[in-house]
Amino acid sequence: MGKIIDSILSTYQSQETTRPTVSFEFFPAKTHDGVFNLLNRVEEMGFSLQPTFVTLTWRSAFKDEKLWLRIGAHIQKEFQLDVLLHLTCHLPKDTLKQILNNARAAGIRNILALRGDPPIGAERWKPIPNGLNNAVDLIKLIREEHGDYFCIACAGYAEVHTESWNHPDLPPSNESRMLDLERLKMKQDAGADFIITQFFFDVDIMLQWVKDCRDMGITIPILPGYLPIQNYNSFCKFTNWCKTKVPPQVQLDLERIKNDDAAVRRYGTELAIQTCRKLMEAGIKSLHFYTMNLASTVTQVLDGLDLIPTRHQRDLPWQSTLRRTGSGNKIGSGEQVRPIFWSNRQSSYIARTSEWDDFPNGRWGDRASPAYGELSEYYLAFKRPKANRKDLWGTPEKPQDVWQVFVKFIEGNVKQLPWCEQALSLESSMIRENLKWVNSNGFLTINSQPRVNGAPSSDPSFGWGGDDGFVFQKAYVEFFVSPRLLEKLVAVIKEYPQLSYHALNAKGDEHRNTPLHSVTAVTWGVFPGQEIIQPTVVDSDSFAAWKDEAFELWKVQWASAYEPGSPSHNVIQEIYDSYFLVNIVDNDYANDDSDIFSIFTRIITDDMSKDDLRTRVIELEAKNEKLHETLAKIKSIQDETAKDLSDTHRELAKQREENQLMKVQLRQLQAQMAFTTV
């Protein structure tokens, strides 16, 4: 395969009206099934959309460079697609040299040279021993070791790299902008061939930045990177983490439709089409998409821009990527023929066959999905704002202090937790009192949802998807818990046959009452003219992968806020070392009497002393008394309102009678006047 810069320059130098270069970014999957399905996704999009190249990210936590290189080499060899592999400065110089040699041996000719994000748990970037300082050093190393063999891309920031901002909550100054441009010029001077930008939403800012680059003497091609809006929550997370400016009208439009997933996706697609069209009208001849490993939205954007090659433009064989079966054997993907009905509707066919990924996966995505993993797995997630964690979570000295932090989060008095970067969702707020109760007794919840049985898809609390549908969900709760309380839970859960559970600790010790490799849908929807959509599942293999990240957050985000050996650091380390992560699903979603929290109540009350129980009863009685008082007030208001309405009705009836009488009297007077006139 060739150097990507040659294709880019050919497009820019062409005197004819040509298709702009189109490129897609993908990120590595974590499971074997995910890897093979990622390859299927790349093949699918490569065959139908004909990108100029694809990029494959390297997260600092993604340690298997051999797998990374194998994926890149497979994409090049089997799909005939140029691959741009990301490389960061998180490894020693000698290791980076070896990786470059291995990449060259694998036929890789294109590298995106990045400094990389700060090491996990660190506030700012710090070079490792015998490492490199920044992307400029990495570009120089590549050129020193391999001359012009590699095409080198670098990163650009139209809104300035967040580390160059003078203040985390204020826009960057002109000095910051100039410093950022000078650093970009240094990358060009060191040997970079082209620039890929951070994602953006304000086109005018991007176009002005391109002009500023040219004024600075930066002449290499600039590829604007765009992240299509596919989900409101992920849009909020990414714009918050990267401090991306959003035009006010876009923010208002999204706020109005944020509870309608399908409407958000349609809006995001149309916005992407308008944005890309404006870029092309301004002379930009390259479009780079952050795909999040999803096909349908990018396909629809390119279709709207009329940039999907027609059949006579393609000359690629139908090559099928191998995937693994449950037994571990490799088989063909099974797609040996496509229906004729979509011969002239390629984008429609892809959208229909990739429907299972239409709603981007959250933590409980299908383990075989190439989009597997929470958004925080994606490398941009490391660019979130650095909050003062001691102010957020205090300085706990015993586990009970940590429990109270979770309670305060449920109450809304703590703004975020390592596992929960936003306030309690609207649906979970409906079980707020139950969550406060279990957290205050040592069941530290990080994810939950109530039971829903056929709510309209437009429901403001539970709705999702398109119009005229109905949504369902099983009650679910995920939490950290001590071994002592887990032992009690395991002992009594046998008496709750409707509940399934899975528990793992950081070392991998396991308790469960579900089969191996089990997958349970916990959210599904029924929509007119469609098969049942199951966007959210609890998957035991996914849970095992998520467990590692969930426990790591105790250390990298919470314990690291304190001095090693301090009481606060020690208590968080103790939780990391001993607690279990547990998920429970209540499968009896259709039973109004089923209560997933009843098992917690039993465990907690069994563990209480008589005095504690008496105190709890008094608390509940006080709450009930307040509820009765509130209900009595509401009833009194209703009674008064009803009386007022009754009085009003009587007054209106009296007025109607008087009006009727006046009309009769008026007619009589008119008749008398007529008679007198005659």
Q: State how far the Cα of 581 lies from the Cα of 489, in Å rounded to an integer.
A: 13
Phi-psi region of 147 (alpha: psi -120 to 50; beta: other; left: phi over 0): left
What CA–CA distance (Å, rounded) separates 296 from 306? 15
pTM of the model: 0.68
- Tokens found for residue 116: 């990389």
pLDDT at residue 289 in the model: 97
Q: Which CATH class is domain 4-311+330-382?
A: alpha beta
Q: Which residues in the chain show pLDDT less than 50?
A: 60-62, 311-365, 372-385, 678
Looking at residue 416, its pLDDT comes to 86
Distance CA 546, CA 419 (A): 11
Q: By the 8 A CB rule, do 184 and 218 touch? A: yes
Strand-strand pairing, 194-199 and 470-473: unpaired
The predicted structure's pLDDT at residue 183: 94
Contacts of 610 (CB under 8 A, 6+ apart): none
Q: Give me the residue label for tokens 């930008």.
A: 197
pLDDT at 649: 76
How far out from the chain centre does Cα 503 lie? 24
Question: Does the annotation mark 25 as catalytic?
Answer: yes
Q: Which two tokens stand for residue 286?
A: 């390259």
Alpha-carbon Rg for the chain, nearest whole angstrom, is 31
Q: Would you tell me how many other CB atoms lie within 10 Å of the CB of residue 306?
A: 8
Per the residue annotation, which of 16, 25, 182, 427 is the catalytic one?
25
Q: Residue 270: in which H helix or E strand, if any?
A: helix 261-281
Write the CB contacts of 143 (distance below 8 Å, at least 6 apart in sequence): 152, 190, 191
Q: Domain residues of the chain, as ranges? A: 4-311+330-382, 387-607, 611-678
The position carrying tokens 């997260």 is: 59
| pLDDT at residue number 77 | 80
Residue 323 phi, psi (nearest 5) = -130, 160
Question: If we measure between CA atoms, which residue out of 201, 249, 193, 250 comes closest to residue 225?
Answer: 201
Backbone dihedral angles phi then psi of residue 548, each to the nearest 5 degrees = -60, -45
Cα gap 259→665, rounded to integer Å: 59
pLDDT of residue 495: 95
Q: Which residues contact 147 (CB under 8 A, 6 or more apart)?
A: none
